[in-house]
Structure formats: C-alpha cells, structure tokens
Chains A and B, each alone.
Chain A
Amino acid sequence: MMDRHAEVFKEEASELLAELESSLLELENNPDDEELIARIFRAMHTIKGSGAMFGYDEVAAFTHNVENIYDLVRNGKLAVAKKLVDLTLAACDQIRRMIERPEDIDRSVVEELAASFRNIVPAVEEENKQEDQQPSPTDKITAGEIEKDLTYRISFKPDIGIFANGTNPTLLLNELRESGECKITAMTDNIPLLDSLEPENCYTYWDIVITTDRGINALKDIFIFVEDDCDLKIEIIDPFEPAEYKKLGEILVERGDTNKDIVDKALSGHKKLGELLVEAGIVAPDKINSALAEQQHIKEIREKRQTAEASATIRVPAERLDLLVNLVGEMVTVQSRLSQLSSVINNSDLILVAEEVERLTTELRDNTMSIRMLPIGNTFNKFKRLVRDLSAELGKQINLVTEGEETELDKTVIEKLNDPLVHLIRNSIDHGIEAPAIREQTGKRKEGTVKLTAEHSGANVLIHIADDGAGIDPEAIRLKAIEKGIISPEDNLTEKEIYNLIFAPGFSMARKITNVSGRGVGMDVVKRGIDALNGALEVKSKKNEGTTITLKLPLTLAIIDGLLVRIAESFFVLPLSAIEECVELTREDIRAMHGKHMTHIRGEVVPYIPLRERFRIEGEPPAIEQIIINRSGDDRIGLVVDQVIGQHQTVIKSMGKFYRDIKEISGATILGDGTVALIIDIGQLTQAVIRDAI
C-alpha cells in the first residue's frame, strides 16, 4: 500500500522542488519577501513530513536541517544571503537525488551539506536541541511492560468548558471499559437545576474502579488529550488487602468524602451507614454509590479468584440425570394440564399462578436439558491420534482439521456417535484420500486433509466429515452393487440413491480385505447407528475433489416445542422448528389448481400434503383449511389440517413396539386433558408421499 503513496509523494516532491528552485531564485533578488520565505519553509516542511511518512527517512533527516534554517529566517533571526541561497539550491539537488535513487545515496556528501547548514548558526542549534519530547498518543507502550492485574481508583473531573474543544467524555469512559473490568459511577451533584443549567457546560464528573493488566501508563494515555483540561487522579488499590475489604465507611474516609467521627456517630443508629449519611446530608448520594461500586467491584474480583481456585464441577452418575430428565418430563405434562384447566376455570388468581408455574417449568426444562450437554470437541480430539496412526499404517499423509468443537450435544448422543464417526473417518482415510504419489500426479498437495465440523442448525446438530480425496465414482458404485447382487442392471437410480447404496448391508468397494476395511460391515452399521438416534445421513461427492458426509442429529430426544393441530377429532403435533408460516386454504384455491396439491404463496409454488386424505380420516374438511408451511433443506412443503390450536410443549413418549415401523409418526404425547396426540415426522412423511407418488 505504501508504494502507491510513495509514487504520489515522489511526484509531489518533484513539483515542490521545482517550485522551491524558482522561489529561491526570486528570493536572491528579494531577500526580504516574507511570502517567498514562508513558501520555502512550507515546501521544506512538507517534504520533510511526507518523506518520513512514506519511508524516506534520510530525506526527512536531511531536510530537517534546511527547515530549521528557514524557520529562523522567517522569525527574523537570520538574514538571507547569497551563500544561503546557493547552499539551499545544492540541497534541493541532493534531495532530488535521494528521492529518485535512494539506493545510490552518497552519505558523505549528504553529511557535508547538512553540516554546512548546521554551521550557519551553531548557537541557535543548542536551543533547538532542548525541545522536550512530549508524549504522543501514537506512541505505543514499550514492550516488556507486561503487567499483571492491578486495581485502580480513578477520579476524572473534566473542566466545565471541556465540550468546547470537541471532547466527548463518554468516549474516554468507553476506552476505560475496553481496558478491563470496571465500574463507573457518574457524579451528578454539580449539575444545577434546569433554569440555571447551561447545556454547553459539562457538570458531570466520574469515579471509576478498574482492574486491568495494562499498567498505569496505558490508563494515563487514555486521557492524554485532556490532561490539561481536567482533574485526574489515578491511584492503585489492593483488592486483597485488608482480608475483609474495606467497609463503606472506611472507603469514604479514605477518599476524603467524610471523616471517621461522623461515620462512627452515624453508625450508632441502626440504619445502613449509607442511608444515614445521605439523610443527614453529610455525603452526597452519588459518592455513596461510587464507594459502594468500589466495594462491589472488589468483591467480584475476589470471587473470581476464589472460583478459579476452587473446583467448579461435580461428578454425577448419569442415571441420576436420566431420572431427573424423566421427572422434568412428567412435570411438563402436568403443567400443561394445569394451564389448560386454569383457562377453563377462568379464575384470575389461578391463571397467574399457572403462568408462573409455566415459566418456571420452561426454565427447568431448558436447564435440565443443558446439564446433559457436552461439547463434541472431546470426541474430535480423540480422533487426532486415530488419524495419525491410521495414515501412517497406510503410508499416506493426512491432516485432521476440526471446527466447531464447542458445539454441544446430549451425552448419550455423543457416546452413540463414537463408533459411526470412527468408521466414517477410517473410510475417508482408506478409500477417500489417495496415496501421496497419486495425489501429486493429479496436482493435489501431497498431504490430504480430513475436516470434521460441527454446527447447530435449527433444532439439529450437523456434523460434516469432509475429505479432499478421490471422491465417490457413481459408476463404480453402480457396477459394484450389480456385482454384489444388490441391484440389477436395469435399475435406474438417481445419483443420491447411488450414493446411498454404500450404506447397504454387504456392500464394499474394497478389492481386497484389509484389517481396516473391506468386510462390508461398516457402513450399514453406521446408518443403523444414526437411525437409532433419529438422525439422517447425507453424502455429497465430486470425483477427484473429495467427499463430504453429513450427519444430521436432533439436539434433544425428550422434549420439543411443537404446534398442536386438529383434523376432525384427532390431534397431531408438528415440530415447531421446521415451521415457517401458516396460510389458509379455501375451496377456491383447491379448484384453481385443478386437483394438483399445490398453492401459490407470494409468487412461489408450494406443494402440500392433504393430511386428512393421507391419514384416511373420514368426514368432510371444513370450508377453510389451514396449510402449515415447513422448510426441509431448500424446499418448502405444506401440510393441510383443519385447525391450528397453538404452541405446545411436547414431551415425546415413544410409541409401543407395534408402531415402531410407522416412520411418519415419531412418537406421541399426552395433552392437558388426557387425549393422545401423535407427533408427525415431517421429513419421513414427505419422503413416503414422494415414494408413493412414483
């Protein structure tokens, strides 16, 4: 970036130098022309300043000498003589050379010229040397000032007219906040009443307690522009001495807001010290607040240190948690009955209590669910060793990359995921990533990468296992499947279906059996494992580029937020997470589509499933039905019901053994009045309808 600016600088310098030369020639004939002198000074000043900015440090240093001389000239301390003009012209030539060919600088020539300038007024040179280096806000803190956490009490009292130079005190307070944990108390006792208040004045001042490791200089730096326009006090306080941190009275006395006698007298009453002092008008309420803020801040710092030292976890047998989750589930069911009853009875006191119970139960439910959640990172880390050993065994170079380690899953789910993940990773390593030699041939890096990512998506967790290997060849799969007798040559399958063949029992792509793969047992075990978790598998692959297998798992198995709907006398629950909206379906709409189950929503055509028909519920549908629009991946699909009743916290009870094979129904729940509502698995239902339609 600097280069393009350097170009502009070079052009600019060249112009300035040309201008300088003509000014100097004029100056020779008009040695007292102030305008010329000012112009010359400015030109030198600019070359010096810009030179330094764009990396021409030697130019800047040299020009500094010339600038000094002309500063004296313009202040009347030095007269212009022919010798000076000659010297300056020579300097211009030198500067031009230094800019155009910085690599060719003859330093002895430069030094000689610089010395000549300096020798013009050696006496004045001394004065210049005494400029004090004032601290600049752009100076960085010197390295090595790594401080540990210290606590400071800061009092910042800006002058009343501080707004007049554009200062915004709140920005300074923000900078403080960014430097560490702090408590800021605004002191408002100087703010006059409205009729004497001047809005352009700053009456507020601030007390701050801050804990930071940046050091006192960093704090002072924050106030660097305003240090002359305010009253600033910064002192270090020790948060750990005395053992029991100072009481309010001690803090006030220490700060000088009151004295010990008054404090003692006030304490002999029975109210809180702070209240007493305020009532007696001895200390302003703001000062009390500020001191209390300090107390609180220190308390928090101490607590933090304590919790870091003490242990923060307790081991609990998993079954106790399971019991707890069960109980919470029952509680949710009973609570929904309570809510329903209370709205029927319509007693306002009861309704209030029922609402409170509902709120608490939701919180209880959320908290209990989260107790069983663990980050998947632990599992991911175990695989690093696996990848290392396995790739060595197979003579390949493979790197395992992980992302989303903090994604949390239920403990049971994580445990059940372990084996399927191991198998999928082994597959990537064995079948996916090619040997280094082959990879080089196809222009890939010798080292292959297997990437494990975990992320939340709605009510699910997605885990991706991606490799940059050879990809899956659909044709090869098809042929192998025919060979194994899984499909026949005439079968016409989509790419997706071909990929899914790798999960068929007995299927294996290995030409020979290694002790890693080949027995054709692995992938279908993976599929069953994922099914058992109510999850789904998706395969995406591109030949020679790689394969990505995605596992989609529900976050929690026991309680979901659902939408309760009715068809005739039957009740159903739809999982709320996938639902986008609800629209009406009239007889007109149905007629308009000539029997096709589709509808228009804001210009988009959305297909729907008429559940009454699908579930063969008898009776006539109402004149206006409701379509509930769900999102499944990139598609939207509607489900038609009679009536939408409302949101319902659904405790999932699994169906008995007899109903396990009904995929479209994922479970059931008991409503407040004891009726059973079936929970619909929208994904499975959609697939079933598509299958039947073909």
Chain B
Amino acid sequence: MSKIIMTVDDSASVRQMVSFTLKQAGFDVVEAVDGRDALNKINGSGVHMVITDLNMPNMDGIGLIRGIRAQPAYKFIPIVMLTTESQIEKKQEGKNAGATGWIVKPFNPAQLLAVVKKVLG
C-alpha cells in the first residue's frame, strides 16, 4: 500500500511539480491550496506526511502545523516546510510549532525525494 502525502501551497505550479514528483515515486498525493483547505481535507484522510509552504492566504504554514499537531491522529506524522532563504526566523517558528524539517526553495525533484525518504522512510 502506498503512503499518502499531502502537499499544501497556494502556487499551482509548485503543487503540480511536487505532486508529479511524488506520484512518479509511487506515493499517493492529496493537494490543498492553503492552511484552512488542508485542515479540512486532512480529517479522515489517513495521510502519512505533509509538505507545506509557509506563505499562504487564509491560514499560513505555521498555523497549519499547529493545527495538525493538535489532532491526536496526526500528532506524530512528519511535516516538512517549504521555505526560502529569507525566512530563517520562520524556520525556527515552524520548528517550535512542531515541524519535522524543511526544504529550501528552489529545489529540484531529487532533493524533494531525498527529504521525503529521510523523514518518511
């Protein structure tokens, strides 16, 4: 049974690239366009991992991470943030909110898969 990864980003092109890369590698993917959309979709979804952008309308990445960790079913799943280099403080904020790790944009498919393997196995 393949693992399910949720990708959250308000940029359609990034979502598509992440989705395509993960599907090629054998994962199932659930997409969400912002934090609120993600929290709505995560209920009962059985996702094994979340990859989220930090900058999004309606609820940003930090809010999403807190929201996910508050749910017992998803308290311990790996959550990876997508950051740019100008967001170092955000990275720490993300970790404090409960993020497992981060990927710096821009990234290529190989780098994405390497991080997925690192935190998901």
Contacts and interface: CB of A to CB of B under 8 A. Distances in A.
B73 to A, nearest CB: 13
A240 interface: no
Interface string A61-81: 000100110010000000000
Contacts of B105: 49, 52-53
B103 A166 contact: no
Contacts of A136: 102-104
Contacts of A200: 75-76
Contacts of B59: none
A223 to B, nearest CB: 10
Contacts of B115: 137-138
B91 A134 contact: yes
Interface in A41-73: 41-42, 45-46, 48-50, 52-54, 60, 64, 67-68, 71
A1 B20 contact: yes
A5 B16 contact: yes
Contacts of A8: 12-13, 16
Contact of A53 (B17, B88, B98, B120): B17
A137 B17 contact: no
Contacts of B11: 12, 46, 49-50
Interface string B100-117: 111111110101001100
Interface in B69-98: 69, 75-79, 82, 84-86, 88, 91, 95, 98
A166 B86 CA distance: 25
B14 A137 contact: no
A223 B35 CA distance: 28
A43 to B, nearest CB: 10
B99 interface: yes
A166 B104 contact: no
A137 B103 contact: yes
B13 A50 contact: yes
A312 interface: no
Contacts of A175: 118
Given A49-B105, A171-B118, A174-B121, A12 B57 contact: no
B118 A138 contact: no
Query: Interface residue tally of chain A, by bracket?
Result: 35 or more
Contact of A166 (B10, B79, B85): B79
Which of A53, A132, A200 is most buried by chain B, counting CB atoms within 10 A of its CB?
A53
A225 interface: yes
A5 B119 contact: no
A165 B57 contact: no
A171 B115 CA distance: 11
A163 interface: yes
A8 B20 CA distance: 13
A54 B13 contact: yes
Contact of A48 (B75, B84, B107, B118): B84
A168 B120 CA distance: 8
A243 interface: no
Given A131-B86, A138-B107, A53 B118 contact: no
* Majority secondary structure of chain B interface residues (helix, strand, loop or mixed): mixed
Contact of A165 (B14, B91, B100): B100
A384 interface: no
A5 B107 CA distance: 14
Contact of B78 (A128, A166, A224): A166
Contact of A134 (B76, B88, B103): B88
Contact of B106 (A12, A39, A53): A53
Contact of B103 (A52, A138, A228): A138
B98 A165 contact: yes
Nearest to A16: B11
A46 B106 CA distance: 11
A174 B14 CA distance: 30
A137 B17 CA distance: 19
Interface in B1-57: 10-14, 16-17, 20, 55-57
Contacts of A60: 106
A132 B87 CA distance: 11
A9 to B, nearest CB: 4
B99 to A, nearest CB: 6
A224 B119 CA distance: 11
B13 A166 contact: no
A5 B114 CA distance: 21
Nearest to B49: A166
A12 B121 contact: no
B78 to A, nearest CB: 4
A45 B14 CA distance: 13
B10 A46 contact: yes
Closest 10 CB pairs of A and B: A52-B106, A138-B111, A166-B100, A225-B101, A9-B13, A166-B78, A53-B106, A136-B104, A8-B13, A49-B105
22 contacts: A1-B109, A48-B84, A49-B11, A50-B13, A52-B106, A53-B17, A53-B106, A54-B13, A68-B86, A132-B88, A137-B101, A137-B103, A137-B114, A138-B107, A163-B76, A165-B95, A165-B99, A166-B100, A168-B78, A172-B118, A225-B119, A228-B95
Given A53-B105, A133-B85, A137-B103, 16 more contacts: A1-B109, A5-B16, A5-B20, A8-B13, A11-B12, A53-B107, A136-B102, A136-B103, A137-B102, A138-B114, A164-B69, A166-B119, A171-B119, A174-B121, A224-B101, A228-B95
